[in-house]
Structure 1
Amino acid sequence: MILKSVHICGGIHNNTRKNIKIVNDKIVQISTVGKDVIEYKEGISFPDDVIIYPGLINSHDHLALNTHPILKKRTYNDYIEWSKEDFDKEKKEINSIPFELRCQWGMLKNVIHGFTTVLQHDKWSDAITSEMLDVYTKPRIIHSIEFDRKWKLKALIPYRKKKIIHLAEGKSKKILQEPHELLKYSLFSKQTILVHGISLKAKEAKNFGGLIWCPNSNIHLYDETANVIELKNSLPILFGTDSTVSSDWDLWKHIKQAKALELLSDDELYNSLTVTPSNLFGFTSKGIIEENKLADIVVSRKKDIDSISSFFKQNNEDILLIIKSGEIVLFDEIILEDVISKVSVENFEKIKIGNSIKYLKFPIQKLVQQIRDYYPNFEFDSYFTIH
């Protein structure tokens, strides 16, 4: 498969126009337009200028908690206060839907926004599979100091993979003590990745291995977020979305909001979605467009002269093509003629996002019906419509 005349985001080829050759699940050749020897016969052309970037990495989501909108009645001081709010009706509705179906819906949310890898902060079932998305479940999950009764034991016991914990999620006096409490029991604190860190201080942050920043979720619930402009000098910053019970469905709204906060530079924010989590979690072939790397690829309309600037100006409907491990999993109808010879369109279903028709390799209609069998009031039309 050849992707013709695409402008690369990030890495050594940043902002250059190239042709990309994919064989099986790898990028095997990147060559300059007009100066290469790539065979164009089977290439995909795009009607307008486009950017190409690696499939994004969502470093924090609860995939089974994406069927409902934000649960919020006021602004909270911390996650403990939020957890005590009366959402019994909503929780009953969520739990009425089988776990596997809820996870599939959460996976769909990530894929149609250009994410091809997600870190699941919850239990998981190996029975849930998808060729569209890698769900990473290897880290040791510690929910939080308040709600994980075994957190001290989990923090103490050595573990060859990373440990991930919600920490400093809020601004109350009790929450301010959490980093100190965790450090007392963490023999290998550099293996520990924190989530949220709203009240985390730089002197505390330097003891840990990374921070997963979830600004959209933080601002919805607590009206503030981590001071990553200071914390980024103490530990790596990764980007997370959290689930829709505390954040927006539209993941590009998350990214644009983060950019507007101006706490990270454009390059730092872009890297927090790509190469930084790839390096931190050992995804050696992900997070960058280079030869011999995994062909997890997103192609989107180019909306600015600079590729990185264009990345931050796109909306969900601007995504024209998503490739996962060398296989097309989503494409826009404007490239249907070039794609039709490479995939069996019968395996795709059509959805409309904004004014664009997308073909998605996913049984959406079946999933929606299955969810509605358990929860008849399930709504999603504000996100996309099925055609």
Structure 2
Amino acid sequence: MLLHNVHIANQNEVSDIHLSGEKIVSLVNADNEVIEEDAITFTNAVAIPGLINSHDHLDFNLFPQLGDVVYDNYQEWAEHIHSVYKKEIDEVLQIPQALRAEWGLYKNLLCGVTTVVDHGVEHSFDQPVIEVFQHCQSLHSVAFEKNWRMKLNNISNLQKPVVIHTGEGIDASAYDEIKTLLSNNYIKRKIVAVHGIAMTSMQATKFKALVWCPASNYFMFGQTANISQLKKLTPVLFGSDSTLTASWDIWQQIRIARKDGSLTDKELFESLTSAPAEVWKMKELGKIAKNQQADIVVADKGNHEGWDAVLSITPEMILLVIKRGEIQLFDESLLQQIEEQHISLKDFKQVSVNGAIKYVRGNIHQLITSIRSYHPQAIIPVEIVQIKSPSYVHTH
């Protein structure tokens, strides 16, 4: 497959990306490339590596945002929502966990995320539409994880990084929690902190990385971590968190982070690509380059240039999502070209995303229907669109 005539993120020249199997085999100037029969040609489009979302709770993405005050810490938030929003929580929990987790995959795919680090219990997926990274030990937090000291210091998990919410608050207890966590890390496990709002510079040096979830932080606490300082001391990765505390649209969250200004545009982009690829030891991801895994997102540039062309993306602007060399999502504007590649459409279903029609791999229609059978008012930000007739579709 050849992706013809695309701008690579923050580069001026127009390139052709040649894929074979799961790999990128060449990247050349579009003017020098002989157009092949298997080319998909773009006009005014930007290509980026598939995003790596370093923090989500896949089975929590059918909740509305819950909370209506500024909290001091996550324990206070949890106590409040369980007393005030019991009805809303119970309605979502009626939906089987497997369905909720599968929707979490699609939430990410629709935004161009091709790898997600899921925090919580391990889920088993049959042919997931994106990669789920679970080669880590998930501990919820010092307050809510039972026997957390024993689990943290379990030598059988020594080779896995620990991922834990910590310092999620703006009061003294949030700072003390990080101190407690570090002082109880007897076997010196590599810890990836999530949130770290109360984290100090000295504490930051003790962590393998910090996952920054700015939208969630601002929603719950009205502020976020001191990223401009902490980034000098530990790698900063970007996480979306779930819809309990943030929008389903990670691009909206990225713009919140951009407005915060703690990361440069390049650093923000890298917090979703090359930085997590390094921290999570997925070095074949995070870049568009020869011999890298073909996880690629192509989006409409609009009238933007440079980093604006990347950081202004919205889900409806996404034209193509490829994971391991296989198309997982494409915009209806590419339909004729996709058909000409003799790619069967029987594995795709149509949905409308903010008015834009996307063809999505897997039976997202059945998933949405099943979810609504348990919770008819579940908040799902796409609409089912029926394909009129498959008679014109080419098949293998």
Asked if residue 40 in structure 1 is aligned to residue 45 in structure 2, the reply is no
Asked if residue 384 in structure 1 is aligned to residue 382 in structure 2, the reply is yes
2:370 — aligned with what? 370
2:390 — aligned with what? none
Aligned partners of 2:76 and 2:128: how far apart in 1?
38
Q: How does 1:1-387 map to 2 (within 5 A)?
A: 1-9=1-9, 14-36=11-33, 38-46=34-42, 48-85=43-80, 86=83, 87-126=85-124, 128-158=125-155, 159-187=158-186, 189=188, 191-303=190-302, 306-342=305-341, 343-380=343-380, 383-387=381-385
Aligned partners of 1:379 and 1:141: how far apart in 2?
27
SS in 2 for 1:208: coil
Query: For 1:11-30, what per-residue CA distance to the aligned partner results, in whole angstroms no more than 9, with x for missing partners?
Result: xxx44321111111110111
Query: For 1:121-173, what per-residue CA distance to the aligned partner results, in whole angstroms no more than 9, with x for missing partners?
Result: 010232x2334201111111111000112211222234102110100000122
AA in 2 matched with 1:348: F
- Per-residue deviation, 1:307: 3.7
Verify the 8 A CA contact 2:168 2:196 in the aligned structure 1.
yes
User: Structure 1 223/189 Cα, relative in aligned 2: closer, same or farther at 3 Å?
Assistant: farther
Q: Number of residue pairs matched?
A: 379
SS in 2 for 1:282: coil
Verify the 8 A CA contact 1:64 1:102 in the aligned structure 2.
yes
Aligned partners of 1:345 and 1:41: how far apart in 2?
19
AA in 2 matched with 1:218: N
Verify the 8 A CA contact 1:155 1:182 in the aligned structure 2.
no
Verify the 8 A CA contact 1:142 1:148 in the aligned structure 2.
yes
- Per-residue deviation, 1:313: 1.2
TM-score scaled by length of structure 2: 0.92
User: Structure 1 226/188 Cα, relative in aligned 2: closer, same or farther at 3 Å?
Assistant: farther
User: Structure 1 99/305 Cα, relative in aligned 2: closer, same or farther at 3 Å?
Assistant: closer
AA in 2 matched with 1:256: R
Verify the 8 A CA contact 1:190 1:208 in the aligned structure 2.
no
- Per-residue deviation, 1:93: 1.4
Aligned partners of 2:220 and 2:245: how far apart in 1?
7
Query: For 1:342-382, what per-residue CA distance to the aligned partner results, in whole angstroms no more than 9, with x for missing partners?
Result: 321122111122232111112122111111222222232xx
Query: For 1:39-66, what per-residue CA distance to the aligned partner results, in whole angstroms no more than 9, with x for missing partners?
Result: 52210012x2111011100000000001
Verify the 8 A CA contact 1:189 1:207 in the aligned structure 2.
no
SS in 1 for 2:320: strand
Aligned partners of 1:188 and 1:21: how far apart in 2?
46
Aligned partners of 2:376 and 2:304: how far apart in 1?
46
- Per-residue deviation, 1:304: 5.2
Verify the 8 A CA contact 2:56 2:117 in the aligned structure 1.
yes
Aligned partners of 1:232 and 1:133: how far apart in 2?
28
- Per-residue deviation, 1:118: 0.4
Aligned partners of 1:265 and 1:154: how far apart in 2?
37
SS in 2 for 1:292: coil
SS in 1 for 2:31: coil
Verify the 8 A CA contact 1:61 1:240 in the aligned structure 2.
yes
Verify the 8 A CA contact 1:97 1:375 in the aligned structure 2.
yes
Aligned partners of 2:307 and 2:315: how far apart in 1?
16
- Per-residue deviation, 1:95: 1.7
Aligned partners of 2:309 and 2:186: how far apart in 1?
43
Identity of aligned residues (%): 35
Verify the 8 A CA contact 1:190 1:209 in the aligned structure 2.
no
- Per-residue deviation, 1:305: 5.7
- Per-residue deviation, 1:73: 2.6
Verify the 8 A CA contact 2:120 2:139 in the aligned structure 1.
no
Aligned partners of 1:101 and 1:63: how far apart in 2?
10
Verify the 8 A CA contact 1:5 1:17 in the aligned structure 2.
yes
SS in 2 for 1:258: helix
AA in 1 matched with 2:23: K
TM-score scaled by length of structure 1: 0.94
AA in 2 matched with 1:386: I
Q: Which residues of structure 1 form unaligned runs of 5+?
A: none
AA in 1 matched with 2:40: I
SS in 2 for 1:219: helix
Q: Which residues of structure 2 form unaligned runs of 5+?
A: 386-396
CA RMSD of aligned residues (A): 1.5
